[in-house]
Amino acid sequence: MIQYNKIIFTGPVGAGKTTAITALSDVPPVKTDQLATDMTKSRKASTTVALDYGMMTLPGGDKIHLYGTPGQERFDFMWDILTTGGIGLVLLLDNTRADPFQDLRFFLNKFGGFIETTSLVIGVTQMDLSATPGLSDYHRQLETTGLNPPIFEVDARRRKDVSLLVQALLYSIDPGLEEQ
């Protein structure tokens, strides 16, 4: 029996959510980018205002629906809508932002209820542009939360990197999964 599962990608503006879904999707992704009109325009020209959507098909036919949230808090009403029915969360963090640990705490807090009932994996982007903080620093930050999700350095443009995040998330949900 073919299953359809839903994974949510979230994180701050510019962390690579749209790029990651585009890299991973087996179908042309749906994007709701609009011209940035606020402080976001200093980081990038457009921003997601509703969602990003893509889909990947696993060997055996199971489908994973990929939903990306807007990164701006003013669109947070979409976060609850998009997480409904989700099986896990991919949190992308941009290592070049002024305080990526503040972003980490913010998104863990905002998605805390969802994380409690599903699974979490964290991808840190832009580490090629800013090597600090390192992954060990993220692990230390997470120790205070009681969470111990898998954390990876990722390039959101690379399908292989994003696929590793999704695989880690799926294995954390069902450790008995066979490696594909």
Q: What pLDDT digit, counting tens, does each position of 58-76 carry?
A: 888 889 999 999 877 777 8
pLDDT at residue 29, rounded to an integer: 84
pLDDT of the chain along its 180 residues, tens only?
Answer: 556 699 999 999 889 999 999 999 999 987 766 555 555 555 555 555 568 999 999 888 889 999 999 877 777 888 888 899 999 999 999 999 999 999 999 999 999 999 999 999 999 999 999 989 999 999 999 998 999 999 999 999 999 999 999 999 999 988 766 544
The answer to whether position 178 is within a domain reads no
What sign has the CA pseudo-torsion 91, 95, 101, 102?
Answer: negative
Overall domain count for the chain: 1
The answer to whether position 14 is within a domain reads yes
The answer to whether position 94 is within a domain reads yes
CA angle (129, 119, 6) in 5-degree steps: 90
Domain that holds residue 109: 4-173
Cβ 9 vs Cβ 21: under 8 Å: yes
pLDDT at residue 112, rounded to an integer: 95
The answer to whether position 180 is within a domain reads no
The CATH number for 118's domain is: 3.40.50.300
Please give the model's pTM, rounded to 2 decimal places. Answer: 0.87
